[in-house]
Each structure stands twice: as C-alpha cells, then as structure tokens.
Structure 1
Amino acid sequence: MASEGIKVISDNRKAYHDYFVEEKLEAGIILTGTEIKSIRNGRVNLKDSYARIENGEVWLHQMHISPYEQGNRFNHEPLRKRKLLLNHSEIIKLIGKVQQEGLTLIPTKIYLKHGLAKIELGVCRGKKNYDKRQAIAERDAKREMERHFRDK
C-alpha cells in the first residue's frame, strides 16, 4: 500500500503461507495510549494472531504489542484481546462466512492511515500440507527462472 497517508507497520507473511486469503477488509482497532505509541515505533507482531466473533463484536486475539519504554505504570498487557471496529453489516457477513463456510479471520497487515491504526483482516481458508509444498515448489521454480534469465 504505497498510497498517500499510509505507513505499513507489520505484515503477517505466515498467514499467506498457512492460509488461502479469499477476501480482505479494513478494520479499525481500539487501543490504549501506550499501545499506539508502541505501534508507531514498530513494536508489534501479528504472527500467531487471529480474530474471533463474540456476541456480535469482532475481537483480535494474540496480537503482541510490546510495552512502551516510557510507559511506567500505565503500560498495557502485551497479549490482551482488542476490539476491532467494523460496520454491523460487515460483521453479519463475516458471521455467515465463519460459521457456514468454515473460514478463519486472520490479520494480514497493520498500518497507520492518516494517524489511525488499521488492521487488514483476511477471510482465510486453511492450507493442507501438500498445498504448502506446492506453493514452495512454485516459488522456488520462479526464483530459479529469474536467476537463469538474470545471469544470461
């Protein structure tokens, strides 16, 4: 996302390895003061995080935001669950996809958009082991072809 006013803080490359991302949507996130300061410093990890729908609200679990160095006693808990901000119609659509189609909500990217933290949420289907091996083989073949053409 090289658009004006957008600064990507962290990508979740593991999500693209473990899941087929079928759809992406943008969600706001409710943070405390020390959390947004840590995010602006790039001290966030999306690796094992996921989102869940609970009581008609979307919650982000296991996203690690490191404590802010100057935060003293007002610092946050690094792995607390955080509420995501979505329209009601988007939540209804997600409930249908997660419950009936067996899809999972995985954050793929966190970025700042005009000073506000946003999460790119992927609606994902899990990959089987042979899918992962096939993706690795395709990536290696593409890399080998590029190397071959570059050397000539």
Structure 2
Amino acid sequence: MARPRPAEFEKVKTVAENRRARFDYHIEDVYEAGIQLTGTEVKSLRFGEGSIAESYAEIVDGEVWLVNSNIPEFSHGNRYNHEPKRLRKLLLKEREISKLHGAVARLGMTLVPLSIFFNGRGRAKVELALAKGKKAHDKRESEKERDWKREQGRLLRQHG
C-alpha cells in the first residue's frame, strides 16, 4: 500500500526576490534548485526575512554554492542560530551542474539567483538563472522600452 502524500499548499510563497537581476542580465535558462538550510534559517525564511540582492552562485569541485545571500538570525534561535552570510549549498542534479559549469567556463556566463521561494510541498527552493551581463547601452534600451510600455498603458486607459 502506498504511503499517503503530504497535503500541498495552494500557492508558492516567494520569500526573497532579486529584482535587479532582470535589469542587469540577459536571462538565458532558469533552473529550480533546492537549498541546504539549517533549522533557524528555514524559520527566518518562513517569517519572510532574507535577501539575495547582491548574491551569486559559483561552482566549486562539482558543487554549486550560493554566495553572499543574507538570511538574518532567527529572533528566538539563541545559541543555535546560524551565521547570516554563510555559503549555502544548492542541490542540483549532476547533469545540470555539468551543463552550468560548461556555460560558465566556456561562454563567460554568470549564475544569478532570481528568487527564494517555498514550493507546494513546503520545501525552500532557489530559482537560479544562467545569465549574460548587459552592457550600458542594453540597459538604456530596456529602460526606454519599459517607459514606452508604461506610456502606452496610460494612453490606452485615457482613450480606451
């Protein structure tokens, strides 16, 4: 007889988001990776605390590590608390890691975390993007496009 499945949540809860990443990088591929956390880190994330604004991922010895992500100490963690800016291991399949390693080494791409979220089963996940950095003129162009879209929406509301 099969083991009963745990009840799933209705929606995915986003905890931290790197909004600047889509402006600074051309996003090529997006991967969903698990993240290895301690108990107090999970509790801190469930309270909605955490930041991945300046963070990135790197591949060392066939493992992917999240660098410079900030998950503040849990308020009731006392001596069992974690270090806020420690390296955190990302859990990916070996085939995905080798594909990412090849892209980073050969094509000069960067691994950028886009968001940390809890999936339907309550597991903390990281949305990891394989990205190429934008030049200054690309950023100006995307800003012009965003402004035009905003103006277009205003015009449609006024005359629509």
TM range (shorter): over 0.9
Superposition pairs for residues 73-92 of structure 1, below 5 Å?
A: 73-92=79-98
Among candidates 108, 127, 132, match of residue 125 of structure 1: 132
Structure 1, unpaired ranges of 5+: none
Among candidates 107, 110, 119, match of residue 116 of structure 2: 110
Matched, 1:136 2:125: no
Structure 2: distance between partners of 1:23 and 1:117:
20
Among candidates 64, 71, 74, match of residue 70 of structure 2: 64
Query: In the alignment, what sits opposite 2:154?
Result: 147
Query: In the alignment, what sits opposite 1:32?
Result: 38
Superposition pairs for residues 8-27 of structure 1, below 5 Å?
A: 8-27=14-33
CA RMSD of superposed structures (Å): 1.1
Query: In the alignment, what sits opposite 2:55?
Result: 49
1:97 Cα deviation after fit: 0.5
Q: TM-score, normalised by structure 1?
A: 0.95
1:5 Cα deviation after fit: 4.5
Identity of aligned residues (%): 49
Structure 2: distance between partners of 1:71 and 1:17:
36
Task: Return the index of the structure with the highest Cα Rg.
Answer: 2
Q: TM-score, normalised by structure 2?
A: 0.91
SS in 2 for 1:65: coil
Among candidates 97, 101, 123, match of residue 95 of structure 1: 101
